[in-house]
Amino acid sequence: MTPDTAERPQMSVEDFEELVRRAPRELQNRLEFLGGRLCVRHGPLDVEEFEELAEVAPETVRLEYVNGRVVVKAMPDGNHNEIFVWLQEQCMQHRPDLRLYPESGVKAEAYRNGRARTDGALAPKGHFKGRGDWSATDGILMAVEITSHDRDTDQRDRIDKPIGYATAEIPVYLLIDRDNNTLTVFSEPKDGRYQQSPSYPWGATVELPPPVSITLDTEELKDYAD
């Protein structure tokens, strides 16, 4: 990993201070910023408290609620955006009946008590109309995450998200991993776990299983290796 792509803190001090300023009064004294991480004092927030906080967060702060913890998701950089557009074009070419929606808030995990902000959600056109900030996962064919160079990527994208999306019965979870230049295709959710999770190097031809049924030509991803 080069100096330009070294692990970044979750958020800046300035963003934390702005988040606290905007937070509901009863939450302001519970928020701390320690070691570059957002922390919550006096026990975890419940999902209703999280939604209140996420609703007022500044645009530069993307919050998720995973395994009962408030997590700050890194803002996308240039290569992250290029990878998303590449995938969006591939999906539209093969499945014009679907749309790859960016930055989609979904209700994940058991009993949908998690709140995940996917990098992409593949669903029929018009799926998110009228659904608000956090949508049920019914009808979503695939969730997509593109790793960022922040210190929580390993836990969030490689461990917590597969469990959360499988529990929410999203048929396919595509992880585009920029740390090792691979794509991992999670599929066949059962009992809160994906039964299949093959990985492929960038440049390989990757088959996304039903109900997605798209063949990805990943050669272009090599252009975005960090």
The rounded distance, in Å, linking the Cα atoms of 218 and 201 is 9
User: To which residue do tokens 């992409």 refer?
Assistant: 120
pLDDT at 191 over 80: yes
The Cα–Cα gap between 73 and 60 comes to 10
pLDDT tens column, 80-93: 999 999 999 999 99
The pLDDT score that the predictor gives to residue 48 is 95
Q: What was the pLDDT predicted at 8?
A: 56
Which whole number is the average pLDDT over 41-66? 93
Residues 6+ away with beta carbon under 8 Å from 11 = 19, 33, 36, 38, 60, 61, 72
* Stretch 150-163: mean pLDDT: 84
Average pLDDT over residues 180-186: 97
Please indicate, yes or no, whether residues 102 and 214 belong to a single structural domain of this protein.
yes
Tell me: do 216 and 124 sit in the same domain. yes
Instruction: Tell me: pLDDT of 21 over 80.
Output: yes
Amino acid at 79: N
Task: Pick the last residue of a domain from 35, 53, 73.
Answer: 73
158 and 61 both lie in a single domain: no
DSSP string covering 116-176: EEEEEEEEETTTTTT--SSB--TT--EEEEE--SBTTHIIIIIIIHHHHHHHTT-SEEEEE
The residue segments making up the domain with residue 61 are 3-73
- Name the token pair of 18: 């702005």
Q: Is the pLDDT of residue 108 over 50?
A: yes
Show the tokens assigned to 82: 């290029």
CATH of the domain at 201: 3.90.1570.10
Query: Position of tokens 């836990």?
Result: 155
Q: Which residues contact 167 (CB under 8 A, 6 or more apart)?
A: 108, 109, 110, 189, 192
Query: What are 174's strand-pairing partners?
Result: 144, 185
Indicate the residue among 43, 73, 103 that finishes a domain: 73
The top-scoring range by mean pLDDT among 64-68, 73-77, 80-84, 149-153 is: 80-84
Is pLDDT of 5 > 50? no
- Total tally of structural domains belonging to the chain: 2
Using DSSP's 3-state secondary structure scheme, residue 35 falls into coil
Residues 105, 24, single domain; the answer is no
